Amino acid sequence: MRALVTAAAALVLCAASVPVSADGLKVGMITTLSGGGSALGVDVRDGFMLAVDQSGRSDIDVVIEDDQRKPEIAVQIADKMVQSDNVDVLTGIIWSNLAIAVVPSVVRQGKFYLSPNAGPSKLAGAGCHENYFNVAWQNDNLHEAAGGYASDAGFTNSFILAPNYPAGHDALTGYKRFFSGNITAEVYTELGQTDYAAEIAQIRASDADSVFFFLPGGMGISFMKQYAGSGVDIPVVGPAFSFDQGILNAVGEAALGVKNTSQWSKDLDNAANTAFVASFQEAYGRLPSLYASQGFDTANLLISALDKADVGDADAFREALRAADFTSVRGDFMFGPNHHPVQDIYVREVIMEDGVLTNRIVSLALEDHADAYAGECSM
Amino acid sequence: MPATLIAEQVLNGLQFGVMLFLMSAGLTLVFGVMGLINLAHGSLYMIGAFACAAVVSATGSFWLGLAASLAAAAAAGALVEVTLMRRLYQRGHLDQVLVTFALILVFSEGIRWVFGAFPLYLDIPPLLAGTVPLPGGLDYPLYRLVIIAAGLTVAAGLFQLVSRTRLGMRIRAGESDREMIAAIGVNIRALYTAVFALGAALAGFAGAVIGSITSVEVGMGEPVLILAFVVIVIGGIGSIKGALVGAILVGVTDTMGRLLLPALFATFLEPADAAATGASLASMLIYLLMALVLFLRPGGLFGKAA
C-alpha cells in the first residue's frame, strides 16, 4: 500500500518538471510545496525569487520542484537535477530528514548546497562539507535561545515536545542545553501528526509550569488549536517555527502574548529588512515569515558570490560564499568555521497589529551565537 | 501515572477508534457485499472534509458543512459506483486495485486543482467548544466527547440497519451469495449503489468531523485508509462487528502505546533515548497487533474461517 502510494506520488511529480536551458548559473530548488509543510516551502521560494528578481540578473535560472516532505522524492529530484538538469547549486530543502538524505551526495558530486532552512547537527559537526553552507541556523540555535529565555523567565519545570525526526531531536537537545530547570517529560510525536490529544493529555497530567514545543507548519497549527480548546492553561514557549506568520493567522488569538525565539523579525530595525518587508508585501500581498527572510538571504548570498567569482571555478566561488559579503535582512551575518551562521537571536512576542497577529522583538537572547558542533568539523 | 491520565487516554483512544470505525465500516461492507477492494475510500474521506470546509467558509455554519460532507461523499461514491465500479465486480482484485488507485490520483489532483495545496483549518462550532468536567476530576474536550457519542450512535444505527431492515437483509444475503439474490429478483445494481453510497457517506462524515479539529488537506485520507485496512484485517473482512471491535482495539492500542511505551523504556534507558525509541515503537504497535491477531486467528477476530 505505502509502496503504491509512493510510486504514484512519484508519477505525479514527474509531470511537474520544467525544462530550462541557458548559460549562467543554474539553481535547483527542492522544497515542500504541498501538504502540511507547504507554507514553509512557499515562503522560502517566494523570498528567494524576490531577491533574484530584485537583483535584475537574467543569468540565474531557477528550477523548482516539490518534494512533498518525502525523503525518497527529494533524493529522486536531486539526482535528476544533478544528472540531467546540470544545476550548479542546490537549495530549498525545509526538513532535516530530507537534507540528510540529499545534501551529502550532492556536495560529494562537486555541487554547492545552500540551506535556507534545515540545519541538522549531523551536517554541522563531523559531517560538515566545504560545499555545504547553511544560511539559516544550525537546528539547535533557536531552541537554545528558547531554553535560555525560559530559565530567565523563571520557569523551572518544562514539558518538552517535538516531532521524531532529526530536527526534533536537535530541538530538544538545544532547549535542554540552555534550560537550567527540570524537564518533566520529553515527548516525540510523529512528523506530520495532526491530532495531539494523546500528548495534550500527558501535559494536563504533568506538574510542568511551562510547555516547550517545536512543531513547524501545519503541525503547530493543529497543536495550538487543540491546546487552546483543551482547557490546559500551562504557558507555552517555543522557537519562531511554532509561531511564524503562517501559523499565527490560522491559530488566532490563542497565540497572543506567547514568547518565541528567532534570528529574524519583521520589526528588526535595519534598512535591508525594512525594504524586504515592504517589497515582499507588495509582491505577494502577505507579511513575510522567517522562512521568507531565509530564502531572501540565501539568494542574496548566492548573488554576492556570483558577483565575485564564476561558479565554474569552485575554489574561488567557495571563497566568495564564505566571505558572506551581502546585506542580510537580519543585520550582522557571518559564517563560522563549519559554514553555519554566527548571529544574534532574539526573543519575540506575539502581538495584534492592525488587526493581524504578528511578532515583535522584546529582547536580545543570544549575541553572536555560534553552534555547539563547529569544533567537531574539519574541512 | 495518575488515573485521570489513563482515563483521558482511554477516551482519546475510543474517539480515534470510533472514527476509524466509520472509515472501515464502508470498506468492509463494500468488500463483503461486492467483493471489491476500494483503495479510493480514503479519497471519499477527503471529499467529505473538503465539502465541509467549503460550505463552512461559504455559509459559516458547521452543521450545514456536516450535511454537505455526507451529501458530497455519498454522491461521489454513487457516481464512482455507477460509472466505474460496476465494471469491476467480475474482474480480479488486481484490476480493482489499479482502477481505485488511479481514482486516488484523480481525486487528489482534482481537489488540489480546486482548493490548492495549502491545508485548510476549520474551527469547531462554539456550541461544542471548550471542555466538560467528568467524574474523577477530569476536564475533557466536549467536541471529542460528542465524536465518541456520534460514532457509537452511527455504529448502533448501522447494526440496526443491517440486522433489522429489508435493506440490511439484502446486504447480508449479498454477502453470503451474490448470484442467488440477483436470481430471486432483487435489484442488485441498486443495492450495490446504495451500499457504496452508504459507505462513502460514513467516510465523508468521518473526514468532516476529524478535519475540523486537525486539518483539511490533499492526501489526508491515505494514512487513515491504511489504518482502516488494518482494522478490517484485524476484525475479519466483511464483518461490521469485527470492524467496530477492530477499530476500537486499534484506536486504544495506538493511543495507549504512545503513552506507555516511552514510559516503559524510561525505566532502563536515558530519557531522551527512551522518548525517541518509545515513540518509534509506538508507531509500529498496531501493525504488531495485526500480525499477532493474524497469527492466532488468520481470518481475523470475527471473520469467516480462512
Q: How confident is the model at residue A23 (pLDDT cuts 50, 70, 90)?
A: low
A139-148, A295-304, B120-129: range with lowest mean pLDDT = B120-129
User: Nearest CA of chain A to the CA of B286: how many Å?
Assistant: 15
B117-134 mean pLDDT: 88
A325-342 mean pLDDT: 94
- For the segment A161-174, what is each residue's pLDDT rounded down to a tens digit? 999 999 999 999 99
> What are the boundaries of each domain within chain A?
2-137+269-335, 140-262+345-376
DSSP letter (8 states) at residue B45: H
Q: Which residue of B has its CA nearest to A11?
A: B105
User: Nearest CA of chain B to the CA of A212: how many Å?
Assistant: 15
Q: Which three cell numbers mark A180? A: 537550567
The complex's ipTM works out to: 0.88
Q: How confident is the model at residue A95 (pLDDT cuts 50, 70, 90)?
A: very high
Percent residues over pLDDT 90 in chain B: 63
Residue A187 with chain B: CB contacts under 8 Å = 262, 275, 279
The verdict on residue B286 lying in a domain is no
Fold annotation for A2-137+269-335:
Rossmann fold (3.40.50)
pTM: 0.88
Query: What backbone phi and psi angles, to 5 degrees, belong to B69?
Result: -65, -40
B250-270 mean pLDDT: 91
Average pLDDT, chain A: 91
Q: Is A331 left (phi over 0), alpha (psi -120 to 50) or beta?
A: left
A256-262 mean pLDDT: 94
The better pLDDT of the pair B89, B72 is held by B72
Binary contact (A11, B105; C-beta < 8 A) = yes
Percent residues over pLDDT 90 in chain A: 85
Domain count of chain B? 1
Work out the number of other CB atoms within 10 angstroms of the CB of residue B164.
10
The verdict on residue B8 lying in a domain is yes
- For the segment A64-74, what is each residue's pLDDT rounded down to a tens digit? 999 999 999 99
The verdict on residue B284 lying in a domain is no
Do the domains at A2-137+269-335 and A140-262+345-376 have one common CATH topology?
A: yes
Q: Which amino acid is at A103?
A: V
Percent residues over pLDDT 70 in chain B: 99
The CATH superfamily assigned to A140-262+345-376 is: Response regulator (3.40.50.2300)
Q: Compute CA distances A335 → A124, A249, A264, B144, whole Å.
A: 12, 33, 16, 49
- For the segment A174-194, what is each residue's pLDDT rounded down to a tens digit? 999 999 999 999 999 999 899
The verdict on residue B280 lying in a domain is no
Amino acid B305: pLDDT: 54
Binary contact (B15, A225; C-beta < 8 A) = no
The domain containing residue B72 runs over which residues? 3-219
The dihedral over CA atoms of B261, B265, B271, B273, expressed in degrees to the nearest 10, equals: -90
The verdict on residue B161 lying in a domain is yes
Provide the residue count of chain A: 379
- For the segment B128-169, what is each residue's pLDDT rounded down to a tens digit? 988 999 888 888 999 999 999 999 999 999 999 988 999 888
The verdict on residue B233 lying in a domain is no
A19-23, B203-207, B243-247, B283-287: range with lowest mean pLDDT = A19-23
A229-237 mean pLDDT: 92
B72-90 mean pLDDT: 93
| Contact pairs from chain A to chain B, CB under 8 Å | 123
The verdict on residue B262 lying in a domain is no
Average pLDDT, chain B: 91
- For the segment A194-215, what is each residue's pLDDT rounded down to a tens digit? 999 999 999 999 999 999 999 9
A105-134 mean pLDDT: 95
Amino acid A16: pLDDT: 43
Amino acid A287: pLDDT: 93
The dihedral over CA atoms of B5, B10, B14, B16, expressed in degrees to the nearest 10, equals: 50
Residue B109 with chain A: CB contacts under 8 Å = 12
User: Nearest CA of chain A to the CA of B292: how many Å?
Assistant: 20
Q: How confident is the model at residue A20 (pLDDT cuts 50, 70, 90)?
A: very low
Amino acid B306: pLDDT: 47
Residue A199 with chain B: CB contacts under 8 Å = 258
Binary contact (A35, B117; C-beta < 8 A) = yes
Residue A186 with chain B: CB contacts under 8 Å = 271-272, 275
pLDDT at A5 over 90: no
| Residues in A 222-261 with any Cβ partner in B closer than 8 A | 222, 225-226, 229-231, 250
- For the segment B36-55, what is each residue's pLDDT rounded down to a tens digit? 899 999 999 999 999 999 99
Using an 8 Å Cβ cutoff, are B81 and B192 in contact?
A: yes
Percent residues over pLDDT 70 in chain A: 94
Which residue spans within chain A are E strands per DSSP?
25-31, 60-66, 89-91, 112-115, 132-134, 157-163, 182-189, 210-213, 236-239, 259-262, 334-335, 341-353, 356-369
